Structure 1
Amino acid sequence: MKNRIRDLRTERGMTQEDLAEIIGVSRQTINAIEKEKFDPSLPTAFRLARLFELKIEELFSYEQG
């Protein structure tokens, strides 16, 4: 699933570790989500959207393929 996590995180001067700590996941999870190798759970997606003050569909996009 495509996402804007890396751009939003770096715009705010956050490291992967910072973001992981804030939303309660590991840095490796953030890395995998940013590289689009892992889709977050729904609760994690909601926490990310809330943090970045976006709707989930503004943060993530799904393209069938």
Structure 2
Amino acid sequence: KDTYILNMDKLANAKKDMAILHPLPRVNEISVEVDDDPRAAYFRQALCGKYIRMALILNLLNIVKEVK
């Protein structure tokens, strides 16, 4: 535990166009300081996952509405 923690020091040499993803909830894997980094995409990932799950449920229940 606490061996692999992503922090700003470890991101210093990372590519500027990489994306940091995480399934959340995080415990100690990613330092809070990374949240403000533009490469941190885990909150957007969680939001998109929410909408994907909603769409899957609607599809499974056969409640599909055409998107215009």
Of structures 1 and 2, the one scoring higher in RCO (CA 8 A, sep 6+) is 1
TM bin (shorter chain): under 0.3
TM-score, normalising length from structure 2? 0.22
Larger strand proportion of the pair: 1
Larger Cα-atom Rg: 2
TM-score, normalising length from structure 1? 0.23
Larger helix proportion of the pair: 1
